[in-house]
Every structure is written in C-alpha cells, then in structure tokens.
Amino acid sequence: MTFRFRRSCSRSRRCGASVEAVLRALAGLAWLSAAASGQAFSQRGFVEFRNFAYPQTAPGDSGRLVSEQLLRWEATLRLNSWLQLNAGADARFDSHRQFERAWRLDWADRRKQRPALSVRRLSLLAHRGGFTFEGGRQFIRWGKTDILNPTDRFAPKDFLNVLTTDFLGVTALRATWERGGETLDVVVQPVFTPSRTPLLNQRWAALPEEARQFTLLEAPVRYPGRAATGARWNHVGDGYELSLSFYDGYNHLPVYSARLAPLPAPAVVFERIHPQMRMYGADAAVPTRWLTLKGEAAYFTSNSPLADNYVLYVIQAERQRGEWLFVGGYAGEAVTERRVQIDFAPDRGLAKTFLGRASYNIDTNRSVAVEGAVRQNGNGFYGKFEYTQAVGTHWRVTLAANLLRGSAEDFLGQYRRNSNLMVVLRYSF
Amino acid sequence: MSRLLAAVLSCAAWAQAQDARAIIEESQRRARSGSQRYEGTLEVIDARRKVSTKRWVYERLGSAGNSKAVLRFTAPPEVKGVALLIHNYPDRASDQWMWTPAVQRERRIAFQDRRTRFFGTDFTFEDLEERDVDRSTYRMLGEEAIAGEPCWKIESTPRPEARSQYTRLYVWIRKADYVAAQIDGYGRDKVVRRIRYSDIQNVQKIWTARRIEVEDMTRNSRTVLKLEKLEYDVSLPAELFTLQALRRER
C-alpha cells in the first residue's frame, strides 16, 4: 500500500508538472494573441487589511494581535466570442508568520504556509452553444446550501484561521453541457490541492495540552497521485432544482497518523494523509411562497483504514423580509463505519449543529449581521456580530466580534480561547 | 327608472374600466420588444443627501412574462461582477440566481417579499417586475398633465393574488405616446413610492423613458436610473441566459 502510494505520488509530480507546463504555454499563447488583436479586457481586485485582536492567549501561541494584508487581482481577457482567459493572483503579508517569506510565484498553493505570491486562477475557457470547457487553475463549486456544502468536493479552503476561510483554486479540466434545464458537469483534477490546515505552532491548531509536552514534528506530506474525477447533473424543474453528484478522489481535508519518536529527544511526529474518498451526493432547492428550502446530502466511503464512511447532510430554510434576510438550518451526520483517530474536518466538525444567520441592510452602504452555531448537545457555540459600511466608492470597513465557547472535546469548543475582534479595511478597484 | 339609471351607470363604469385597461394594455403593447440591452447608471441619494452610484449592464430576451434577463454590475468596484439571472414564466413565479465572484458560485434566491429593495436602491423588486395586466383592476380617474404633457390618470388596484405591497397605484399615461409618465404607489392611504419617467425618446420606434426617478417617501430617499446605450431587438443568443453564462463572468 505504502509503496504504491509513493510510486503514484512520484508519477503525479511528473504528470502535474507537464499539465502545468501545457497550461502555462496555452495561457502565454492566449495572452500574446489577445495582445495582438486587442480584445476585451476587464479586471478587478482589492487590497485588504485584516486585523484580529484576541483577548486570550492560546496554548503555544501568545500572540494577541494578528494582522494580515492581501492584494488580490482578477482579470478576464476575451479573445473572441467563444474563448476567454481568466487570471488571478494574490500577494500577501502578515504579522504572524502565516505566509511564507519566500519571494517566488507559487502555482500549486499547497504548502503549509500561504505563499507570498500565488497564482489564484489561470484558465482558458471556451464555450460554444451549450458546451463550456475550462482548463487550468480555476474554482469549481458544487452544492446549493449556504451554511455547509457536503458535495463541494473540488473546493479546498485555507483554514489557517478556521473562522475566516478562503477558497483555493484547483488545477482541473472541466466540461459542462447545458440544455434547457439540464446541466451535466464533468471534472478531472489531475493535480491534488489540499486544504490548508492550521499551523501547529499557532492558536487554530488547538492541540491537546498533553501533546504540547513533546516536540511536535510534521512528517513530509505525500500527496495523492491519481487524478480525482467527478460528475454532477443539475435539473431546473418547475419550481424546484435538483442535483446528483459523484466524486472519486481524495479528501482535501486530512487525517493524521501520529507516532512517538523517542530519539534524540521525545517528539510526536504527525503525518498528514489525504485519504481516498468516494462521494455520492444530492442537493435540492425549492422556493416556496414563504420560504426557500435547500438541502444537501452526501454519502462518503473510503478504502483507507484511517478514514470513516459517513453521511453528511444539511437542511436549510431562508426567508427575505424587507431588508432582512434570515437563514437557518441544521447540519447532521451519521457515521456508518468509524475508523478516524485524528483528523482535521471542519465540515464534519459543524455537523450535529444548528446554524443560523440574520442580516439587515440599514441602507445602501451599511448592513449588520448576526450568525451563530450551537451544537445539539450544547458542547460548542459560535456567535458572530458584524457591521459593515462602505465609505466612498472604493473603501469598506467591517467590524466583527466572534465568540467561541464550549468544551475542549468539541470542534467549536476547542477554540474557546480564540474569541476575537476583527477589523477589516478593504479598498476595491 | 332608478334601476335603469343604475344599469346605465354600471355600464358606464364598466366601459370606463375597459378604457382604462385598454390604455394600460396598449401602453404595454407599444413597449414590447423581442429583446433589450442597456447600460444603466443608478444614483442613490439618501436622506442625508449622500450620493452613491452603481452601474450595470442589462440584457433581456423575450417579453411579457416569458423572458430571461441578466443584470451584471460593473461599478462600484466592490460589486463589479455580481450578476443576477432571472427566468420569468407566464404561469408561475420567476427563477432567480445570483452570481457572486467572491464565492465563485451561483446561489438560488427567491424574494418572497417583493418589498425588498433592489440592491440598496429605492426600487423594490416589485417595481422592476413586468406588470401583468390581469393582476389588477383599473378605473379611469380623468385627465391630468405631467410635466406639461396631457395624460390619462388611471387607478390600478392589485388583486389579492398579486400580493402587491401597494394597496393601489395611480398611473399617468401620456396621451401622445402611451408612455407612463408617473406612478404613485399607495400603502393604505398615503403615497409611499413615486416613480417619475422622463427624457422620453423614440428608440427604434419604441417610445422609452431614458430617465426613471423613484422616490421613497417613507425613507426620504430617491434613486435615479439612466438608461444608456439602449437597444431593442438586439441579437442576444439564448445561451447568454443560462447558469453557465452567469459563471463565465463576461
């Protein structure tokens, strides 16, 4: 098993490198041809200054003030009526060693730290009639619910801050065929992109106190080699919408194996593993006169001895009333075969939880929102209050207070020392 | 005698209602087009006289309750790329999806409450809907000039099934070209929203108001929508009005 894993991994690197080379060449050609023909170009982006103040220190992390800066740029170049090039890049800086102090352009975006400079998106998109093809680094989002998306398997995230996450692009080929109310989506992802997990020496890792008595080491990660594939059929019917989806690949969220290395000094060595995963999913939305009902469910199986077989589901209702928007629901889980010992799974961590959000638009520039999550056994709680205001044409200020409470054994409760105040200043261009 | 008088009055009222309805129908018929495209500039002036500007591109294919439309914001920068896809049906509520570039996903939305303001403007979603003639009853109130133009003044009362935010509307239709000049929307007995149509021009044989001003009397704010680069019956392929097109973010 281990041998096969290693061999496929090495093949994957070659495969991934050649895919990237082809895509880069395609992008370069597209850029040159567009420059020559002077086609339509549009761009947008923002500079964001995100600052957190934590009233409490956390084990292994005494930092109370964390500041993150992000410059994001996104552009679209229309080469002709059926072909366009999408590009996006991030540049980062922060006060808390969350980004890598290496000034190179990162394509794969799968290191432990955030890259200082990264390609967020670089893809060629072609469409003709009802057929759309996109190849390259892109975002693929599945699912219909808003509070949790069990079927969203091609959407790894950056969880360095578990409450304030961001999607990571994936290198994939995506073909979509659409006719009337039917859409068929087929995806092949040859290069694996994992979710970025909290850094072991920072507060969002929330390791047990006993583990901190040892030196913590992380073994080099072996990424899966085989391509992930998936398909989704979506049907827009008379007053409802329904999808069925299938995914065969690897979980972008890891499980861990841990071993004690007694020499030269006692240390716990963690190995991050992304287990094989197969998903059978469905989602639906039914707008009614009073509420919009949305639901999503997925059954996950794995051949890995370290991963569970389980069902994750979400039911959600939303209602718009004047300037108010209410969204509430429940995320549930049923484990059919339990094998996991240590994992990092925020999706499953939010299962068996009631979730809700209420937002109110004060006027065209200002809004407030309250959101919360309560575990059904009462062992974990998350609450957020947010006020946001646009200032002029380009600036927006957001003030938020996040409260986390609960027991150390609970996914939300383990972060009980991470309640924080957040100030975000964004300049959009 | 009194029965005869009542019958005559009833007939007169019926005929008047028919006239009023016929005028509304004619107004809608004249405005009908197979497709439409414009670039809209919105100025929202709040109660403190602060002005914020939004810009969008609007494309519609089909008409009269059987249409598809896409609206894409182009400014200000923070909403650039946000798009709304609407599929209108004659026999049921519309399907609506919103595309938000920040999350790279379309989101099925449903505005159960049509009083909801449209993206922070003074237009409500109901104000922007195509009005179905059969969903209201009509009464001719007389003639009145708006901005110097002779108009018919018609009272329109939404039927209960229309679930309108308004108890009644007063509609002024210009006699010269059947274009609406003003609409006053009433909530119980007072005007809550006033829509004024001006800068009326003949665009490809369709008389169209290029400037629409809506005033929210309860909030003391107003929004001005200007239609630029307006075109009718422009060639718009059906594939532009799909979820895939929404994702393509033109």
On chain B, the residues whose CB falls within 8 A of the CB of A76 are 249-250
Least confident of A114-128, B10-24, B204-218: B10-24
In this structure, are residues A178 and A232 in contact, taking their beta carbons and an 8 Å threshold?
A: no
Report pLDDT for A217. 84
Tokens of B151: 């108009």
Listed residue (B180, B123, B118) closest to B147, CA to CA: B180
Tens of pLDDT, residue by residue over B109-160, are 877 777 788 888 898 888 877 777 888 999 999 999 999 999 999 999 999 8
Contact status of A239 with chain B (Cβ, < 8 Å): yes
pTM above 0.80, yes or no: yes
User: Which residue among B78, B108, B239 sits closest to A130, beta carbon to beta carbon?
Assistant: B239
The total of other beta-carbon atoms located within 10 Å of residue B163's CB is: 13
Report pLDDT for A370. 98
H or E element at residue B156: strand B149-158
Q: Which domain holds residue B58?
A: 2-248
Least confident of B75-79, B116-120, B188-192: B116-120
The total of other beta-carbon atoms located within 10 Å of residue A89's CB is: 17
Q: Which domain holds residue A21?
A: 2-38+71-78+90-352
Contact status of A112 with chain B (Cβ, < 8 Å): no
Report pLDDT for A298. 98
Q: Which residues, numbered 68 to 87 in chain A, qualify as contacts with chain B under a Cβ-Cβ cut-off of 8 Å?
A: 74, 76, 78, 84, 86
Report pLDDT for B13. 53
Instruction: Give the span between the Cα atoms of B14 and B28, in whole angstroms.
Output: 21
For chain A of 429 residues, list the mean pLDDT of each consecutive stretch of 10: 30 48 54 56 95 93 94 94 94 92 89 94 94 96 94 97 95 95 96 94 83 81 93 94 97 91 80 96 93 97 96 96 92 94 92 96 90 96 97 94 95 95 97
Q: Write the CATH number for B52.
A: 2.50.20.10
What's the angle, vertex CA A174, arms to CA A169 and CA A175, rounded to 5?
160
Tens of pLDDT, residue by residue over B23-45, are 999 998 999 999 999 999 999 99
Tokens of B91: 């026999």
Taking an 8 Å cut-off on Cβ atoms, the answer to whether B115 and A322 are in contact is: yes
Report pLDDT for A24. 57
Contact status of A292 with chain B (Cβ, < 8 Å): yes
Residue at A32 is within a domain: yes
Report pLDDT for A29. 52
ipTM over 0.90: no
Listed residue (B118, B115, B129, B95) closest to A287, CA to CA: B95
Residue of chain B minimizing CA distance to A74: B101
Report pLDDT for B58. 94
Report pLDDT for A6. 30
Taking an 8 Å cut-off on Cβ atoms, the answer to whether A132 and B78 are in contact is: no
Listed residue (A57, A81, A172) closest to A129, CA to CA: A81
Residue at A162 is within a domain: yes
Residue at A217 is within a domain: yes
Residue matched to tokens 């999913």 = A281
Judged on CB neighbours under 10 Å (0-12, 13-18, 19+), B8 is exposed
Give me the mean pLDDT over the B243-249 stretch: 85
Instruction: Give the span between the Cα atoms of A292 and A326, in whole angstroms.
Output: 10
CA dihedral A89, A91, A94, A99 (to 10 degrees): 70
Mention every residue, 6+ apart, whose C-beta is less than 8 A from residue B10: none
Report pLDDT for A26. 53
Contact status of A46 with chain B (Cβ, < 8 Å): yes
Residue at A174 is within a domain: yes
CA B14 to each of CA A81, A400, B8, B22, B141: distance values in angstroms, whole numbers, following the listed order: 54, 60, 10, 12, 13
Query: What total of structural domains would you count in chain B?
Result: 1
Q: Which residues, numbered 219 to 248 in chain B, qualify as contacts with chain A under a Cβ-Cβ cut-off of 8 Å?
A: 221, 239, 242-244, 247-248
Distance from CA of A2 to the nearest CA of B (A): 36
Residue B178 pLDDT more than 60?
A: yes
Helices (H), chain B: 2-31, 125-128, 243-248
Identify the bridge partners of residue A234 per DSSP, sorted by sequence position. Answer: A183, A243
